[in-house]
Amino acid sequence: MPSSSSSFDHNYNNNNNFASPYHHQDTSITNGNYHDEHSALLGGSNNGFTPASTSDERGSINYYGQQEVQQMASSTTQSSFLQWNLKNSEGTFCEMQESEMLKEHEQALTEWELEQKNKTFYQRWCPSLDFMTSCFRGCRGSDENPIVDDGSAELHVQRADAKPQIVPESLKPKKGHKLGELFATAICGNDITSSCLYVIGVCISYAGIWAPICLLMVSFLLFLFRSIYAEVGSAITLNGASYTLLLNTTSKKTASLAACLTIISYIATAVVSGTSAIEYLKNIPYCEQIPLIPSTVILLGIFAFLNLIGISESAFAAAIIFVFHIASLSILTVYGFLYVSATNGFEMLQRNWQLSSASFSALGIAKSIFFGFGAAMLGVTGFESSANFIEQQKPGVFPKTLRNMWSLVSFFNPVLCFISLCALPLSQLSDPKQNASLLSQVGRASAGTWLQILLSFDAALVLSGGVLTAYVGIVGLVRQMAMDRALPSFFLQVNSFRKTNHFIIILFFVLCASMVTILNGDIDALSGVYTIAFLSVMMLFAMGDFLLKYKRGQIKRDRRAKKSVIVVAIIGVGTALLANILENPEYLKYFFIYYSICAITVLAMFWRVKIMKFIIYLVYSKLKEWNIAKSVTDKILKFLVKQAKEVNSQSFIYFAKNDAISMLNKAVLYVRENELTDWIKIVHVYKTPKSEEEHIEQQKLISRLRNDCKTLDEIYPRMRIDFVAIESEKGFGPDIIRLIESRFGIRKNLMFISCPSVKFKVSDLGGVRIITNDHQN
């Protein structure tokens, strides 16, 4: 392949805005290396080119300059073609249709690519050159993975030196089976109703005779959160709960650090559920001598293995467990009331009342209720779980699951607490050794050994299901964060045996097993860590709803929570959180140990380019001074440079409806502050004009948008800002997003939009992130 001309070399060295850490900043790039893609996809007039086009049922994209490009390609070398393109069209994006020209020049293009890859890594990298290469490769795919627009998985190469990115989603929306009210309630109901198996004893140990009142207060607070969760669920019908909410209302870093709290909550869920399951299992004959800590670790390991081989939650199995669990609690309730009535159980309640009379002062009662309320909040852990799989629920089911969970907790928790106070002495109820399996003791006192065994088996079953729920939840959350580039990408790796995310599952098991060992199976300490994490998540969720009202008020929603309700809910959760911290400040130590591990990992992902720059500086400057072998130094530099380029080479898309440059600037600033990239595509989607007047107005708007992008490209010389205009008969919508995802090979979660108009629900856009509050969009 002939080498580039001198004029081309000039463009190669100066028309570059890739701010890689190893570049020598010898010149200030003020030329505005603008990569105009409008001409590529619009079909307008520019430099005498004529458009070629393609279309399907989703819309049409006009490709620019095919005839002239064919002529240039047939009359000159690839390098001179790129020189001409850079010089005369400012890096115009000419995505080609499949043609004979591509087949004729395929071998020459491959040789040119190899030549570029063999350049020394100290040379400056030209985005325009690389992007032109990707245009050719993107339209034909690789030799092993040709692109076929048949709705199957597609392969798109974005840059000549970038790893291929697989788009696993079909262009057509998936119509999977949606969960009805029973199955959806069963999945989340097992989690929240199992909490009564251990929260009643913990609450009584703090509040004494006032425990039922504390549980009723929790029920009132949960009633307030019903409207909060319902509003968020109707506005942002996407999986992820608090992480997704904060990602669309705050910065990515804030959402990621908040997600660390959810990770801790999942860890504590698995540990508390596993420990309590073993405690109840020890009440079954022939299981009394089971060691707590080794058995809990083995139980966690069993569910880790089940997840590794691909056995996760089943809605049908969850429904069977849920029905059996509710039936068991109902039997206990009936026999408990019969026992109280037949044996004059109110005498036991009176004796327990007398034992608590020493603390009947106003201060003593307030203190008991204050700390009992904080402990009782453990009984509603799992209320947020329904929001984690809201996309799998039928329309209108999510609010019903919230209602059902609230009703079950409001009935069983206070009632069973009252029966416990009538059946057992306060000294036994407050014994930490009895807390973990309290209801089985109540069942034995009410109906005999058979009910104790039934409740123990039920508790072991439903609590084990809580462990499985934690594994499924953590895999989904960590996968999403890894896809958003908030956690390392190796978490997305799947094993070849069962196609499961083994790194996530194994690491989660290690963290859970370490928590069991460090806290020595102490159910109170485990519950304390669990409660702190869970209450923090609930508080952030309520704050996120406030931000949703203020910053994303235009989002379509079916329900709205009053601001006063949100304020009272935040105060209530804050009070419960304060109570837990004041009562057991040592629990904060364990909480921060695990939270720090997660938070440091997340922050390292945001700072990884800076870290690599610092290491490159040390390697490049210090190792030479220390006379380290040059080959070793070069290998380290090459590896770090490659990693830095891969991090920054990911492109993002921002959908712009109008030419408000202030909103475009907000979008660029958001990308600069929240994403590690130097490449953003500003995409404008418009309806096919129906008249000449509309066509003229649209061309004027596109021209202004193009000029705005040029301006922004000059303002931010380190950013590559492309502009794309797409014409569609239906205009902007979910179908065109899927088309763009396929053509550019950019996942939907890497696409951004201003606050959409009321005609769209956020869930319809498939995970496109809301980053600005544009009332015109």
The SS3 call for residue 56 is: strand
Give the pLDDT score at 325.
Answer: 95
Tell me the whole-structure pTM to 2 decimals.
0.74
Distance (Å, whole) CA 281 – CA 460: 6
Strand partners, 684: 725
The 8-class DSSP code of residue 105 comes to T
The SS3 call for residue 692 is: helix
Closest CA to 644 of 614, 609, 669: 609
Write phi, then psi, for 307 (nearest 5 degrees). Answer: -70, -35
Distance (Å, whole) CA 594 – CA 616: 31
* Full 3-state SS string of 371-421: HHHHHHHHHHCCHHHHHHHHHHECCCHHHHHHHHHHHHHHHHHHHHHHHHH
The SS3 call for residue 517 is: helix
Place of tokens 């004796």: 351
Give the pLDDT score at 505.
Answer: 93
Give the pLDDT score at 241.
Answer: 86
Q: Which domains, from first to last, does the chain contain?
A: 182-583 (1.20.1740.10), 650-776 (3.40.50.620)
Give the pLDDT score at 278.
Answer: 92
* Cβ atoms of 209 and 369 closer than 8 Å: no
Give the pLDDT score at 522.
Answer: 79
Helix pair angle (78-89, 6-14), 10° resolution: 60
Q: Apex CA 50: angle with CA 49 and CA 51, to 5°?
A: 125
SS3 content of the chain, % helix, strand, coil (to 5): 65, 5, 30
One-letter amino acid for residue 184 of the chain: A
Place of tokens 């690491």: 507
* Cβ atoms of 445 and 342 closer than 8 Å: no
Question: In angstroms, how far is CA 529 from the centroid of its own chain?
Answer: 23
Distance (Å, whole) CA 431 – CA 437: 11
The tokens describing 759, both together, are 């005609």
* Cβ atoms of 188 and 401 closer than 8 Å: yes
Write phi, then psi, for 682 (nearest 5 degrees). Answer: -95, 115
462 vs 274, 415, 434, 445, CA distance in Å? 10, 20, 19, 22
For CA atoms 241, 244, 249, 253, the dihedral sign is: positive
Distance (Å, whole) CA 2 – CA 509: 57
Distance (Å, whole) CA 204 – CA 129: 70
Give average pLDDT by consecutive 10-residue segment, the chain, 777 residues: 34 33 29 35 33 38 35 32 26 32 40 42 31 29 32 27 33 63 90 88 89 95 94 89 91 93 90 90 86 93 89 81 95 92 80 75 88 90 86 91 94 94 87 79 90 93 89 89 90 86 93 89 79 91 92 85 94 94 88 91 90 82 61 77 85 90 92 90 90 89 91 90 87 86 88 79 84 63
Write phi, then psi, for 373 (nearest 5 degrees). Answer: -65, -40
Distance (Å, whole) CA 168 – CA 154: 7
Closest CA to 477 of 305, 191, 310, 265: 265
